[in-house]
Amino acid sequence: MAVELRGLTDNARKTSISELNGRLADSIALALAVKQAHWNVKGRNFIAIHELFDSLHNNLREHVDTMAERVQQLDGVAVGTVQKVSASSGLQEYPTDLTGAEDHVRALCNRYRDHGEKLRAAIDATDEAGDADTADIFTAASRSLDKDLWFLESHLE
């Protein structure tokens, strides 16, 4: 049974589903990178960084769920298996040989910046297609990501 949302064109729906699945893959990949860092970080301020990484992961998970649920609302299929995420995420692969806190923070900052850029492009694409609600989801994710990037970058000062 197809979902019919009032005032939303088929093009808007298809654009939004595509953008949502793309950013979903990136968000899942980033969440896994944060967990990789969380599990392997060592060094000064360990507990603060370790707990920060947990907080970052939780923030990403919240947006992952919102994006996946929006895909369903638009009568799409949310794609989030490890294999599909690995194949479709545009984020750079996270190194598995890092242990130093500063190395992890730098690696995550790079990926947060990249993801933020992609989220902002998705805001524009979905807004231009006529789906302000999906653009709003991306705006909330972008705002949260920017705040978390600020927290990360503060550890490099």
Q: List pLDDT tens digits, range 95-152.
A: 999 999 999 999 999 999 999 999 999 999 999 999 999 999 999 999 999 999 999 9
DSSP state of 91: S
57 near 120, Cβ under 8 Å? no
- Indicate whether 38 pLDDT > 60: yes
Name the architecture of domain 10-153. Up-down Bundle (1.20)
Rounded distance between C-alpha atoms, residue 25 and residue 101, angstroms: 25
- C-alpha 93 chain-centroid distance: 14
Give the model's pLDDT for residue 16.
98
Whole-angstrom distance, CA of residue 81 vs CA of residue 79? 6
| Structural contact between residues 91 and 115, judged by C-beta atoms closer than 8 angstroms | yes
Q: What is the mean pLDDT of the chain?
A: 95
Q: Whole-prediction pTM value?
A: 0.94
Query: Which pLDDT belongs to residue 3?
Result: 55
Take residue 43 and report the two structure tokens written for it: 């060094």
